[in-house]
Amino acid sequence: MYFDLTDEQQAIRATARDFLAARYKSERIRELAESETGFEQADWEEMAGLGWPGLALPEEWGGQGLGIVELAVLFEEMGYALAPSPLLSNTVAGLALALCGSDDQRERYLRPLAAGERRGAPALWDAGSTATPGRFALEARADGDGVVLDGEKVLVMDAASADFFLVASADGRRHLVERGADGVTVSPEASIDLTRRLHSVRLEGVRVAAGDTLPAEEADYHPVFFRACVALAAESTGLAQRTMEMAVEYAKDRQQFGRPIGAYQAVSHRCAQMLLETENSRSAVYGAAWAADAEPESLSLAASMAKAYASDAGWRVPDASIQVHGGIGFTWEHDLHFFLKRGKANAATFGTASWHRERVADSVLAEAAVPAAV
């Protein structure tokens, strides 16, 4: 029993912390928030140089071959830095290809993805649906050897800059669709989170060749989904950590009634609560990340616990930090609102806290502990 990062994992953390801190200062994040793509290609290329796009992908396909614990370390730092980057969408697409693709698809799509040369993004939720994980409406109509896709996907991350999509259909399968393919239209959506781009992707008579539909069934994607939940929960933990630190610094500095406000228990106890939620979130995330790598049968429950907890902490802690800051925390000029919005967006993505709690209830109230289906 040893629950701490190894030296190698600490090194990943230190590299990520330094790299991201140097690139994503407040002015830069604001510039990118107003830009068209929301991130900088040059940054992406540097991240690719560090091996990040393929961090948790198999070495066989050009990845680093590291685990979900290492991935969680990286994403916690992405959240801490509030980094605007397509790394999350690309990572989820990469995991889907690695776990569910054919060798031919891995060769054509995963290898360049892991190298950071091409980017993928999952296109899951359908316009008009409630975005419930695992439930898709888009019909894949048989057409010769392949299928034809008609429908509209929403809440697709980084779609405008992705090279290809993994489009989910009602039968639970995923189809590889190039962004530039005939019949694909990408339109931006305004998100509360200015550090991550969302789009709708309209598919009109988009033909998918037989070799571009992944061979896996819906249930095969659950391990991908749970890993994505862990990565996103790790990111929310980083948001909580950073905004807690901002609150503590401010509370030490800001004087009212002749004392630093952090000396008042109304403020200091709020900060203690922030620490509790941040540490709980971190424990749940690394517990689930470890399960993904070492005890896959526990991942389903552990990932839902982590995503439920971190979904709440990921916006409540930034919100508490805004309260500690008072009026200045509510201004556009202060960075806190970016953290709050990213946290709230993360909470809404890959299953809300309530949705994951329902899965946990299903699991703990079952006679025998059988994980619930997604």
Applying CB under 8 A, does 271 fall inside the site for other proteins? yes
For residue 358, give the amino acid letter. Answer: E
Q: Give the burial string for 184-214 (b: 16+ CB within 10 Å, else e).
A: bebeeeebebbbbbbbbbbbeebebeeebbb
C-alpha to C-alpha distance for 316 and 303, rounded to whole angstroms: 20
**Contact by Cβ (8 Å): 350, 229:** yes
Q: Pattern of binders to other proteins over 8-27, x per CB under 8 A?
A: -x------------------
Which secondary structure element, helix H or strand E, spans residue 154, and what is its range? strand 146-157
Residue 248 tokens, joined: 């503590």
User: Can residue 6 be called a binding residue for other proteins (CB under 8 A)?
Assistant: yes
CA gap 31, 124 in Å, rounded: 29
Q: Which of residues 221-250 bind other proteins (CB under 8 A)?
A: 248
Encoded tokens for 353:
């806290």
* Shortest CB 2 distance to other proteins, Å: 5
CB of 14 to other proteins, least distance (A): 17
Here's the x/- map for other proteins, 67-106, by CB under 8 A: it reads as --x-------------------------------------
Residue 214 contacts other proteins per CB under 8 A:
no
Q: Which stretch binds other proteins (CB under 8 A): 4-12, 55-63, 83-91, 197-205?
A: 4-12
Provide the 10 A C-beta neighbour count for residue 48.
17
The verdict on 3 binding other proteins (CB under 8 A) reads yes
Residue 34 as a binder of other proteins (CB under 8 A): the answer is no
Residue written as token pair 């069934």: 217
Note whether 323 binds other proteins by CB under 8 A: no
- Report how far apart, in Å, the C-alpha atoms of 267 and of each of 213, 258, 276 are: 55, 15, 14
Question: Rounded to whole angstroms, how far apart are CA atoms 257 and 320?
Answer: 21
| Tokens representing residue 296 in the block | 């896959």
Query: What does residue 73 show for φ and ψ, rounded to 5 degrees?
Result: -60, -45
| Site residues (CB under 8 A) for other proteins, limited to 167-186 | none
3-state secondary structure of 180: coil
Count the Cβ atoms, other than its own, within 10 Å of residue 40.
17
Instruction: Choose one: 18-26, 121-129, 144-152, 284-292; the region binding other proteins (CB under 8 A).
Output: 284-292
Judged by CB under 8 A, the residue of 262, 314, 343, 371 near other proteins is 262
275 touches other proteins by CB under 8 A: yes
Q: Which of 117, 259, 326, 328 is the binder for other proteins (CB under 8 A)?
A: 259
Residue 99 or 275 with smaller CB distance to other proteins = 275
Of residues 57, 151, 91, the one with CA closest to residue 350: 91
- The site string for other proteins over 349-368 (x = CB under 8 A, - otherwise) reads -----x--xxxxx--xx---
**48 part of the interface to other proteins, by CB under 8 A:** no
The reply to whether 290 sits near other proteins by the rule CB under 8 A is yes
Binding to other proteins by residue 273, rule CB under 8 A? yes
| DSSP string computed for 81-134 | HT---THHHHHHHHHHHHHH--HHHIIIIIHHHHHTSS-EEEE-PBTTS---TT
Largest CA distance in the chain: 78
Nearest distance from residue 4's CB to other proteins, in Å? 5
Alpha-carbon distance 97 to 105, whole Å?
7
Identify which of residues 102 and 280 has a Cβ nearer to other proteins in the complex: 280
Mark the segment that binds other proteins (CB under 8 A) among 177-185, 195-203, 218-226, 280-288: 280-288
Exactly one of 1, 142, 190, 368 binds other proteins (CB under 8 A); that residue is 1
Q: Does 260 bind other proteins (CB under 8 A)?
A: yes
| Residue 63 interacts with other proteins (CB under 8 A): yes or no | no
Element (H, E) at 300: helix 299-325
Count of beta carbons in the 10 Å neighbourhood of residue 348:
17
- Span interacting with other proteins, options 25-33, 138-146, 151-159, 256-264, rule CB under 8 A: 256-264
- The residues with which 185 forms a beta bridge, in sequence order, are 202
Decide: 32 and 197 in contact? Cβ < 8 Å: no
Q: By the criterion CB under 8 A, which residues form the site for other proteins?
A: 1-6, 9, 69, 248, 251-252, 259-260, 262-265, 268-269, 271-273, 275-276, 279-281, 283-284, 286-287, 290-291, 294-295, 302, 305, 308-309, 354, 357-361, 364-365
